[in-house]
Structure formats: C-alpha cells, structure tokens
Structure 1
Amino acid sequence: MSNRSISIDNIEILQNEPLSKYTFTKTGGHAENLAFPKTVDDVKQLVSYANQHHLPITTLGNASNLIISDDGIKGLVMILTHMNQYHLSGNEIIAGAGVPIIDVSVLACQHSLSGLEFAAGIPGSVGGAVFMNAGAYGGSTSQAVESAQILTKDGQIKTLTNQQLKFSYRHSVIQETHDIVLSAKFKLKSGNQTHIQSLMDNFNAQRASKQPLNWPSCGSVFKRPKGHYAGQLIHDAKLQGYQSGGAQVSRIHAGFIVNVDHATATDYLNVIHHVQQQVYKNSGVHLHTEVRIIK
C-alpha cells in the first residue's frame, strides 16, 4: 500500500508505492512518486511538475525487460501503460507508448499487414520496444517503425524519424537522450493474412516450448555476443539451475533468470554478476546485459 497520494490537475501521484507490483520479475523497491498518465497532456503536466520541484524523471512501460533496484527510484516515475490508444490508417498503425506491442502485431495481422510478426510474443510496450529496439526471431522494431513522437525533458514535443532514432542492436538514441516516447508510427506491407498468422503462431509455439513462461522473469537477460548465443555459453558453463536467494538461472532456457522463491532485485543482480564471471572464465566471452537495470 502507498503511504499516501497527491493530485495535480486531476492526475493522481502515488507516494512510496512498491514497484514490485508492476514489474514482470515481481521485484524492485518503492517509487518516491508514481503516476500513470493517460494522455500526452498528462505527461507534459507531470514533466512540468517534476521540473518545478527538481525531481528526476524515470519513464517505464510494461516493465517486462527491467530490473529495478531494491532501493527503489527517487523523484517521479511515470508508467505509460494507460497511454493505450492506437489506430490504423492504410498500411500504417499509430500506437501510444503504453500499447502492448503484441496488440499492434495482432491488429496488423487482422488487416493482412506484414512486418510485425516477430513481435507476436514480446511482452513489452510500444515505448519500450522503441527504447531498446526490441526484437525476436530475426525481426526488430527498427524494421517496422517509421517515426516516433517524443517529449524532451524540457517539455518539447518532437517527431523523430527512423534514421534519427539511431537504431542498432537492442539500442535507440532514446537511451542517451532520456526523452519520453509518446507514440510510434509503424509502416507495414500488405501480405497474406493466413501466412502472417502462421508465422506468428510458429514464433509463439517456439517461445512456449523453449522459454520459462510460467515463472516471473525479466525476459532475455543478456545481449547476443558476436558469434555466440548467450544461452549456450551459460549452458556450457554449467550454470543452469544456479540460484542466489530466490533468483535462478532457468533450467528451461539458460538465457532467462526466473523468480522461483520471492526473489529480490539484489538476488537477480547477484545471479547476473555470477553468470558473467563464470561465462568469461569458461569461454573468454564477456556477456553484456540486455535487460534494463535501474539502480
């Protein structure tokens, strides 16, 4: 339970709210201030409020590929999952930052539009997908996004083109600028609905058979090292089943760390560091985290 809440312009701000209620790992400390904006105007008002009170701003989406420190987050945290409007126009879909990327892929399929099949099982939001150039099964957000509307930390709304977003593997320029993704425009291609659905079904079947979907996790923890697969390196180092506190290297897929017994964020970080050390010792390969870690 939050200790209390305040309201600015009819936007409720929860105070001392446990973020473990919202993260996929079920871990993380408290947010000093937490708000769920529903509109672009809400985000602007919250940014203005934070700037006036000299509060650092942290923006979250579905909190799926994320570890938040047990110390929590100071300042203002905005979770954008209520910014969930989207619409279709021709072969383009404009979706708010809080829309699950899965929902966008389903809408595309329903209208025989190809280009988002890879996203059929990705649990993140549109904003998160743009932030980290989320991808799977050979596809990535960068291949489908035409532009994104962003809000700068000083309250200016801008539109960044695909090129200006500077996408690379699990990366976009947003990671450096700390701008807030408000929405994204996806430009897709006409395709055969049956074929699109078949691809999506196949990807989801692969995911279900190979990933530990029945346990809380932060998704794929490590980036793919050049010439290697993180999961295989972890398996080769005999780390599957390794556990610290309640966090365990999945026995189903070594690239995942699952919460098997009331894990803390510290447990997760301890497992990550141990895996990195042991994989380097075993193979000479440095594993770098894909998961976003907020300390």
Structure 2
Amino acid sequence: MNLRHLTARFVSLLGEAGIRENEPMAAHTTFKTGGLADLMLLPRTEEGLVSVLRVLREENIPYHVIGRGSNLLVSDEGLRGAVVKLADGMDNIDICGNTVTAQTGAALKVLCLEAIRAGLAGLEFAGGIPGALGGAVCMNAGAYGGEMKDYLTSVRVIGRGLEICEIPASAMDFSYRHSAIMEKEYIVLGATFSLPFGDPRTGMEKMNELNARRREKQPLTYPSAGSTFKRPQGNYAGTLIESCGLKGFSIGGAQVSEKHAGFIINMGNAFSRDIYELILYVKEVVLKETGVVLEPEVKMLGEF
C-alpha cells in the first residue's frame, strides 16, 4: 500500500483532520485494546463517505467500517489497510412530531435523551447502551425488553454498489441480535423511528431506573464490550458461565467479571489476545459442562 499516495488522495476529500496514520485502535474500542490501524479515515458527510469508499475500492485497499467501537475486539497486530470511522460529524439527530431521524454516528444515550426531552417514549432501554446507532441497528441491540426494531420505520444505507437507499424496517429481517444488514453488507447511514408520545419526566425516571440497575449488576467501571455472548435459547449466558465456576477466572489481564459472569472485562492491562483466549476458554468449558454452544456478540477484527 502506497501510504503517501493514498494520504494525498484522502486529504483532498477529507482534509488533513480527517486522516490519521498508524492510529492506535485501543483509543477507539470500549475494550481499550487493539494494535495500530495503517490508516484511519473520518468522513463527516455521506458524500465524503461514499467518495472514500470509492477510492478504497479503486485502490483495492482492504477496509473496515466502524462506529464507536463498543462491540469490537481488534487484534493486537492491528489492522492492515484502512479503518473508516463513522462517529463525530455523522451524528445529527432530527425530531419532527413523533418522528426521529438520526445519523449512524449518533450515540444511543444522546438519542434516548433527545427523544425523552421531546416528549417521546420507547427508547429508554437504549439510554445505557454504549455505542452508536449504526451498530445498534445492524445488531438489533436491545436491553430490558426493548430492541431497536420496536419503533424503527426505515433504515438509510449504502449498498454494495455504493448506492444510497432507504429501506423499510419490514425488509430488514430483524431478529435477536440480527438484521439483513449483515448478509447484504450494507453500511448504515441512519435510521428513522416513529415513537409514541410520553411524559418527559416519566421517561427520564424510567431511563434512570434502568441505568441504576445496570450499575448495580454490571461491571461498568471496567473496559468491556458489554455482554460478551449472545443469549442462548432458553437460558442466559451469564448463568451458564457462573454455573461452570468461571466467575472471576482470568487469562492475562482479561477476566470473567466477578460482578456479572456474562461480561469479560479488561482489568487494566489486558491484550486483545487475552480477551480472545478467554472467550474461547469460556466457550469450551460451557460446551463441555452444559452442552450449550455460546456465540460471541463481540465482532473480531484482524488476525487472532
């Protein structure tokens, strides 16, 4: 990869502030681990993003598109090619009546607060979920009985041919931690919700109550990616892991949280390899002891 040549092309599209070379991915994931990305690109508009993607394809450069890194485990060896980060600058939220339209980089907490302040209900469950709208829509993120799909009306995406289109939520094939976005390799640009009207005070109380429950039960003071494993049918990952005596078990600086066994946390000095090996070990033990196959929620990027 001719980095100098590429940098010149991207400067013309994004300006110097939109390009970073040898960027530490530990600064862009909630696990706080990960090696260097050859190139990080920070488009601030849809047009800029499409232009960046077109250049990457023309130059045959491998790339990853990320949001706020709340569900990622990046290899200690870093990432070759480019990382396209959609966050600041692509985080606008617009509310008209009971219709909420937000860009992919909008933080879920901010989205929830803006909706509540506008007298709208339904997103209180998302007020404590880290990360941005794009990843949440892709994974149909949820908590405390709510999911992103509940009030979604449409999703704005970039397709494989770099065309921008608006797709109705009914065509998104939403299910538990799944959407059609994964199979179709869409890049989420934004989403529109139709929310019921509610009382702002009631909404704030509900969000605060759910967040208090999170603080009580989850290890939020340590870097993590939230729940490490998807919920197996008819059971809970944390319950199964705890039943296997793995609560507090550690490899290197990574630990199965003593507070909630469904979380693998960075105790402060973990490498991505520690976390990865601990995920594999937990899966192996749980399968052997219970016969249940745990599937990670965490997306892994790079070589492990």
CA RMSD of aligned residues (A): 1.5
Q: Does 1:130 align with 2:134?
A: no
Distance in 2, matches of 1:154 and 1:58, equals 16
Q: Secondary structure at the match of 2:281?
A: helix
Contact 2:241/2:286, CA 8 A, preserved across alignment: yes
Q: Does 1:69 align with 2:70?
A: no
Deviation at 1:238, TM superposition (A): 0.7
Q: Does 1:181 align with 2:170?
A: no
Deviation at 1:250, TM superposition (A): 0.5
Equivalent in the alignment of 1:256: 263
Out of 12, 20, 31, the position equivalent to 1:8 is 12
Distance in 1, matches of 2:13 and 2:205, equals 47
Equivalent in the alignment of 1:197: 204
Q: Does 1:37 align with 2:35?
A: no
Deviation at 1:24, TM superposition (A): 0.6
**What's the TM-score once normalised by structure 1's chain length?**
0.95
Distance in 2, matches of 1:173 and 1:59, equals 17
The Cα offsets for residues 220-239 of structure 1, whole Å up to 9 and x where unpaired, read as 10000111111011111110
Distance in 1, matches of 2:105 and 2:175, equals 22
**What's the TM-score once normalised by structure 2's chain length?**
0.93
Contact 2:121/2:195, CA 8 A, preserved across alignment: yes
Between the two proteins, what is the percent identity of the paired residues? 40
The Cα offsets for residues 158-209 of structure 1, whole Å up to 9 and x where unpaired, read as 1111012211100111112222111111110112223222211111010010
Of stretches 48-57 and 204-213 in structure 1, the one that deviates more from structure 2 is 48-57
Equivalent in the alignment of 2:221: 214
Distance in 2, matches of 1:17 and 1:111, equals 38
Distance in 2, matches of 1:253 and 1:96, equals 32
Contact 2:14/2:43, CA 8 A, preserved across alignment: no
Distance in 1, matches of 2:81 and 2:163, equals 20
Contact 1:47/1:153, CA 8 A, preserved across alignment: no
Equivalent in the alignment of 1:235: 242
The Cα offsets for residues 93-118 of structure 1, whole Å up to 9 and x where unpaired, read as 11110010111111111122111111
Deviation at 1:16, TM superposition (A): 2.1
Contact 2:25/2:78, CA 8 A, preserved across alignment: yes
Contact 2:14/2:48, CA 8 A, preserved across alignment: no
Out of 54, 69, 74, the position equivalent to 2:60 is 54
Deviation at 1:71, TM superposition (A): 2.5
Contact 1:62/1:98, CA 8 A, preserved across alignment: yes
Structure ranking higher in strand proportion: 1
Out of 142, 149, 152, the position equivalent to 2:156 is 149
Contact 2:157/2:190, CA 8 A, preserved across alignment: yes
Deviation at 1:265, TM superposition (A): 1.0
Equivalent in the alignment of 2:31: 25
Deviation at 1:86, TM superposition (A): 1.2
Distance in 2, matches of 1:10 and 1:226, equals 45
Contact 1:65/1:220, CA 8 A, preserved across alignment: no
Distance in 2, matches of 1:177 and 1:14, equals 29
Deviation at 1:284, TM superposition (A): 1.3
Aligned residue-pair number = 293
Distance in 2, matches of 1:197 and 1:10, equals 38
Structure ranking higher in helix proportion: 2
Out of 63, 72, 97, the position equivalent to 1:90 is 97
Contact 1:245/1:261, CA 8 A, preserved across alignment: no
Of stretches 192-201 and 277-286 in structure 1, the one that deviates more from structure 2 is 192-201
